[in-house]
Chain A
Amino acid sequence: MSASRQQVLHVDWTRCDGHGACAELLPTLLALDPWGFPMARGDHVRGDPVVPPGERAQARRAIAACPLLALRLLEVPSRGPVQRAASDAASR
């Protein structure tokens, strides 16, 4: 991974059911919102928490623990958002 890339823990919100295992395994990265869904505590890229190198192994454990398979690690540019489907960003 080059210096201009970073890893984020991407949440597929269409899958996430608020089981909460991820927030339990990654308490420094994730809290739970009032409805029990994971929420980034600190740095995030469009909602996906940035995973520092030291937390990667634990993030993989969280991915494996998610019963809905809603999590994955994504490598994204250090600045700038996860690329969304372009026309999803505004209207409609």
Chain B
Amino acid sequence: MPQRPVIGGGLRVVGSVHDRLLAHDGSPVLGRPGLDELSELLAAAALTGRGGAGFPTGRKLATVAAQPRRPAVVVNAVEGEPLSRKDETLIALAPGLVRDGAEILAGALGAGRVVVAVSDRMESAALRRSIAAVGSRAQVRTVAGTFVGGQETAVVNVLNGRPQVPSDPVPPTWERGLERRPTLVVNTETAAQIALLVRHGAAWFRSVGTAEDPGTFLATVSGSSTEVVADGVTETPRGAPMHQVLGLFGLRTDLVSGVLVGGYHGAWLPASALNTPLDVAALAPWGAAPGAGVLHVLDRRQCPIEATASIAGYLAGQSARQCGPCLNGLPVLAHTLALLAGLPGDARRSPTRGSHDLVARVEHLTRLVEYRGACAHPDGTVRMVRSMLRTFGAHLEGHLAGTCPR
């Protein structure tokens, strides 16, 4: 295994036998399939987006290709999720794959423009050099690496010279996006996976992962303490057991109370679920998905309700302040969670019945904000909060009885 560089912020990249993206030798992918050929490849590989939503990439491509106007391609490397470092890693270690993925998509679509939008929090010099080295027409644009600034519509807005905030999803970006062109927006890793798929073919792509959810993905691992797990990025097949991936970073299983899968918009899994395979089907019963590959381990010495309240507080502060239910609802939701986290102190003064009312209040607030914003921010926050209520139900009972059982 070659030596792995440590990229910005001391991030450790752990190599493995599964490396594809991270083992890339830097040589350009020369294939430029036409639209039909690329569509067949994407369908045969069953490639899904690696940015979070996990939408089938072939279907996105087909939707954009069916529009009457000449399209544009945007590679989204904004990575606004603070727990995710994998796009930054790819831009630093395999910029040629990102570039070639963008070129392949632009070529198949006959795109009028192709832009890679990178966050101002990442080092993009390697990407710029790699684009210049082959005379690629892809443009690199540096934009703010804010949480909701990475939402698809926010990225398109800032590239169009407007404020970098999400807008109403009607009309969708695939109909009217960059320069009002039909626009295909793909995540950095999705673009890189496409480049490798074109080089090696669908059978190779499917030779790892599960039948329904094939291929590899980049995981970003972090912990709520430095003892429970180390921070870093690695590449792993879909379907790999969670503990195996976390084990590469020195996981202390005795210290784990849960894992937040999918980042701040993801879902909590309990320590008893550490062997869950990291694929769409296995994570679905937990209300989770591989998403952008974020795995955040909670140290059992920290209160999961407090952790959830703290994340909800952060997310409330990240609202673009455009949509009333999100702007008004998320701070109240975060505040109510903080009251719930502080219950052992308060319970001595207030009757337990009031505590149960707080849980009901949290549930009510999640219903008030869900679906009621232009972007995924309220829905993602609700997903994370509800998963806490399910996964840490026993812990919650402790709070309601007057003690935090951490």
Q: Name A residues whose Cβ lies closer than 8 Å to a Cβ of B.
A: 10-18, 33-37, 39, 44, 46-47, 72, 74, 82-92
| Cβ-defined contact, A87 with B323, below 8 A | no
Residues in B with CB closer than 8 Å to A15 are 168
| Cβ-defined contact, B169 with A84, below 8 A | yes
B273 to chain A, nearest CB (A): 19
| Cβ-defined contact, A35 with B328, below 8 A | yes
User: With the chains together, A16 CA to B326 CA distance in Å?
Assistant: 12
User: With the chains together, A85 CA to B153 CA distance in Å?
Assistant: 7
B246 to chain A, nearest CB (A): 19
**B166-196 near A? 1/0 per residue, CB < 8 Å:** 1111101110000000000111000000000
B162 to chain A, nearest CB (A): 12
Judge whether B356 is part of the interface by a CB distance below 8 angstroms.
no
User: With the chains together, A33 CA to B54 CA distance in Å?
Assistant: 32
| Cβ-defined contact, B368 with A34, below 8 A | yes
**B2-28 near A? 1/0 per residue, CB < 8 Å:** 000000000000000000000000000
User: With the chains together, A90 CA to B55 CA distance in Å?
Assistant: 10
Judge whether B76 is part of the interface by a CB distance below 8 angstroms.
yes
| Cβ-defined contact, A13 with B322, below 8 A | yes
| Cβ-defined contact, A90 with B172, below 8 A | no
Judge whether B313 is part of the interface by a CB distance below 8 angstroms.
no
Tell me the nearest residue of chain B to A13, going by C-beta. Answer: B323
Cross-chain contact of B60 among A10, A86, A90 (Cβ < 8 A):
A86
Residues in B with CB closer than 8 Å to A74 are 170
List, sorted by A's number, 25 A–B pairs whose CB atoms are closer than 8 Å.
Answer: A13-B326, A14-B168, A15-B168, A16-B323, A37-B325, A39-B372, A44-B371, A72-B170, A84-B376, A85-B173, A85-B185, A86-B53, A86-B60, A87-B51, A87-B185, A88-B53, A89-B52, A89-B55, A90-B53, A90-B262, A90-B291, A91-B52, A91-B262, A91-B291, A92-B292
